[in-house]
Amino acid sequence: MRLRNPCTGDLVREIRASDLPVWSMCEVPVGDGFLLATGSGDGKVRLWNSCTGDLVYAMKIDFARSSPTGANQVNSLCAVSLGGRTVLAIGGSNVEIWNPESGNRLHILNSRADRDIKFLCEIEINGHHMLAGSDYDGTCAELWDPADRYQGNPLEVQRGIELIGAIRTGSRTFLACKTFDTIALQDLQAIFKRTF
């Protein structure tokens, strides 16, 4: 991985995460600072000090559900708020919630998808932090409450999702789903009338 200065583009540091490709990364608030989390094909999440390039620790992820592909790789990472603290959502054959400070798994969020989870993002609905994700083939999108251990709520989205993200405009948050030639915005607050 190469860390660059966002203003100048200059190379600041190179970090060798593993011999296998890094499939995902995200910034994780820990204590008074931030760590860089990386997920790779060896089933490990590594947390790095991005200022020094030092490995803080690595967590071996043994997903509770076996992957249809037989792989145990970390496809997606997302920092998400849970009860006033930040936890790490890890996507692979299912979605697991981990404490990035202790390196302990907190619980598993079951998926309706038949394929591995490829994309995850945090999205706020009516003031409540939720987790949105889609499967590897882009055929299934789901919404989870990260505090809940139950199956995700399916979302009606276009097939062929290649990327998802949250977009905030004023007081509303939309889920953006990118397919081959389209970006669709979905107002989840209008869909989910539930008060959290």
Q: What is the pLDDT of residues 89-109, one digit of tens each?
A: 998 878 889 998 888 888 888
| CB within 8 Å of 41: residues ≥ 6 apart | 18, 20, 21, 23, 71, 73, 74
Q: What is the pLDDT of residues 15-67, one digit of tens each?
A: 776 666 778 888 898 888 888 898 888 888 999 887 888 888 888 887 765 55
Model pLDDT, residue 33 = 84
CATH architecture of 2-191: 7 Propeller (2.130)
Model pLDDT, residue 170 = 77
Give the residue carrying structure tokens 């953006």.
176
| Ranges of each domain in the chain | 2-191
Mean pLDDT across the chain: 77
Confidence of residue 195 (pLDDT cuts 50, 70, 90): very low
Model pLDDT, residue 64 = 61
Confidence of residue 9 (pLDDT cuts 50, 70, 90): confident
